Amino acid sequence: MHIVAFTSRHSADDAQIATVTPAQTGGKLAAGTYYYLSTIVTTHGESSGINEKIVTVSAPNNSVQLTFNVNKQDGFKRRIYRGRQPGIYDGYFETSLNSNATFRDNGGAFTGLRSSPTTGVDDTSMIELDANYAVLVTPSWNTTYWVTGKATTGFIINFGTPAPANGGTIDYFIVR
């Protein structure tokens, strides 16, 4: 059995960086001014970002610490964009799934090289209007399956043969 829960709404307000401060130790960031913006990413899309934060780094504080507003842990990641000019970002760091933890930018490699979206899917919710949908499932192992417990917030996939010891994967597609 595998429970699939849909992500609730996350917006630019949810993505905001709460604080940004030069860190006291370590890091490879060059001295200067840095601009940060955060977005929320779910399987439904990426939110826009608001309230860019600015911080000046100088030796020996060659890293930056960022804190965030707390979000419901329901399948989101954060993208933290960094640039040297207002509104222009060189790349982003992506946090682990459902992380509300403090992030430290030590000047390491970006996760991705692009600027933040100027507009986003400011409603990243996967919540369905009703449970009147079909689910197509493709497991990575030979098994039968059936879907139960369809709701606006997710569904359950049951398997005739358990997933292999190496984990197995599933892909699913919702059709209305």
Q: Write the pLDDT tens digit of every residue in 40-75.
A: 998 878 888 889 999 999 988 899 999 998 988 888
Nearest 5°: the CA angle 112, 118, 119 is: 110
Within a 13 Å sphere around the CA of 150, how many CA atoms are in the beta-carbon half? 14
pLDDT in tens, 141-167: 999 999 999 998 889 999 999 999 988
E strand spans, 100-153: 103-105, 134-139, 145-151
Domain ranges of the chain: 10-105, 134-175
How many Å apart are CA 83 and CA 91, to the nearest integer? 7
For 84-102, what is each residue's pLDDT tens digit?
999 999 999 999 999 999 9
Q: Please give the torsion angle defined by the CA atoms of residues 87, 117, 74 and 15, in that order, rounded to the nearest 10 degrees.
A: 20
Spatial separation of the C-alpha atoms in residues 7 and 136, rounded to whole Å: 19
Is residue 14 helix, strand or coil? helix
Average pLDDT, the chain: 90
Quote the CA–CA distance of 109 and 116 in Å, as a whole number: 17
d(CA 90, CA 115) in angstroms, rounded, equals 6
Residue listed under structure tokens 């600027």: 115
pLDDT at 121: 59
Closest among 162, 133, 165 to 147, alpha carbons compared: 133
The single residue listed with the structure tokens 């139960």 is 148
